[in-house]
Amino acid sequence: MVYSPLCIVGGGAIGGLISMFLYRGGVTDITVYYRSWSSIEAVEREGGILVKTSGREYLIPVKPRHYTLPGDKCDIILNCVKAVDVKDTIDLIRNISHDHTLIVSLQNGFGSLELLEEKLGYHRVACGVVNCGALRVAPSVVEERGIGEIIFGQRKYVHPLLLELAEIIRRGGCPSRVTVYLSKYRWLKLSINAVINPLTAITRSRNSIVLTPWGREIAYNILEELVKAAELDGVKLELDRLYRYVLRIAKITSNNYSSMLQDILRGKLTEIDYINGVIVEKLEKHGLEARINKLITNLIHLIEHSTSTNLAKT
Ligand SMILES: NC(=O)c1ccc[n+]([C@@H]2O[C@H](COP(=O)([O-])OP(=O)(O)OC[C@H]3O[C@@H](n4cnc5c(N)ncnc54)[C@H](OP(=O)(O)O)[C@@H]3O)[C@@H](O)[C@H]2O)c1
């Protein structure tokens, strides 16, 4: 069965990549909501989102709309905005959803899924852990930077459309499945983001910086605290194994520029509070210290602040 229309909120790097999987998986009516009119104009001008992957180009004929102008109700809504923007999508999603709409949070880190669940209902909201990379090189052009797997799950229910969504995305070229161990996969993804994102953003380097002796030592320290936070959340992770896993991912993606580094270079707010900040919050809530992750979080906020101050002067 193909759902029509299906909506993507946020047509950036991940929204663009997902639109390609959906289209190739058989969904032809895809509405994409944007924040800026310039993005909408670019997508209208080009006739859709151009996705470059494995030496090929696909023009995905999506219908762009502004987030303040809700269109038809959707059976499935994929939320692909940055974590810091999720709060601004709630009204739109209320307007374009019905009682049985499946709403999927695809943000990295923790906090976005929780906010959507609270505002829109646990039974309707699911999470997608995206182990893929993409880069938006122009408002209507996205380059794929690695296709791993998308793992879907819900914390309290299993929405009937979730399995079908995973099947569509699989058909569209991306390995995808539904798990009952959602928390474990979220923490595994957080471990990658909590190490690679801030270390590359602070040093303005490619992911390979993590593999230096200094990078490895800080990575281990970040993960020591992350393992404790995960345990408080009911997820048991083995530190040395997790460390080797994160280094392996850093090696495979060694030439990539992380999304946090890209945010810093563009003078945008990062997702640090949803990544390392979450480790701090979880440990401090239980009276435990998270000195390394607090330092990392504060350093990124300092860089955000200095970037915005510098930009304001130019
Ligand atoms: N990029 C990756 O490789 C990757 C991998 C895994 C997970 N993720 C996660 O995916 C999420 C999105 O990241 P991204 O890299 O795709 O970001 P991005 O390229 O910056 O795209 C964000 C999109 O959200 C839109 N947007 C912002 N506020 C909106 C609103 N209120 N209503 C509707 N649209 C809105 C923006 O619209 P405009 O175009 O109009 O500005 C833009 O199209 C993040 O949480 C990230 O951590 C990314």
* CA–centroid distance, residue 155 to ligand 1 (Å): 23
Residue that terminates a domain, selected from 164, 180, 196: 180
The torsion angle over the Cα atoms of residues 165, 169, 172 and 176, rounded to 10 degrees, is -140
Q: Residue 103 has which token pair?
A: 């709403």
Q: Residue 215 has which token pair?
A: 């990078």
Same domain? For 19 and 164 the reply is: yes
CA atoms within 13 A on the CB side of 4: 8
Same domain? For 210 and 303 the reply is: yes
Same domain? For 71 and 156 the reply is: yes
Q: Which of 34, 112, 144 to mutate to test the pocket of ligand 1 (most atoms within 8 A of CB)?
A: 34
Range of the domain at 280: 183-313
Residue that terminates a domain, selected from 131, 159, 180: 180
The angle formed by the CA atoms of residues 144, 149 and 153, to the nearest 5 degrees, is: 130
The whole-model pTM stands at 0.96
Per-residue pLDDT of the chain (314 residues; tens, 9 = 90+): 555 679 999 999 999 999 999 999 999 999 999 999 999 999 999 999 999 999 999 999 999 999 999 999 999 999 999 999 999 999 999 999 999 999 999 999 999 999 999 999 999 999 999 999 999 999 999 999 999 999 999 998 889 999 999 999 999 999 999 999 999 999 999 999 999 999 999 999 999 999 999 999 999 999 999 999 999 999 999 999 999 999 999 999 999 999 999 999 999 999 999 999 999 999 999 999 999 999 999 999 999 999 766 655 54
Residue that terminates a domain, selected from 143, 161, 180: 180
Same domain? For 166 and 229 the reply is: no
Same domain? For 53 and 76 the reply is: yes
Decide: 153 in ligand 1 pocket, CB within 6 A.
Answer: no
Q: Give the sign of the dihedral formed by CA 152, CA 153, CA 157, CA 163.
A: positive
**Partners of 59 in beta bridges:** 50
Q: Which of 35, 51, 263 to mutate to test the pocket of ligand 1 (most atoms within 8 A of CB)?
A: 35
Report yes or no on 161 lying in a domain.
Answer: yes
Give the domain CATH number at 106. Answer: 3.40.50.720
Report yes or no on 1 lying in a domain.
Answer: no
Decide: 13 in ligand 1 pocket, CB within 6 A.
Answer: yes
Q: How many domains does the chain have?
A: 2
| Cβ atoms 188, 161 nearer than 8 A | no
Same domain? For 173 and 190 the reply is: no
Decide: 130 in ligand 1 pocket, CB within 6 A.
Answer: yes
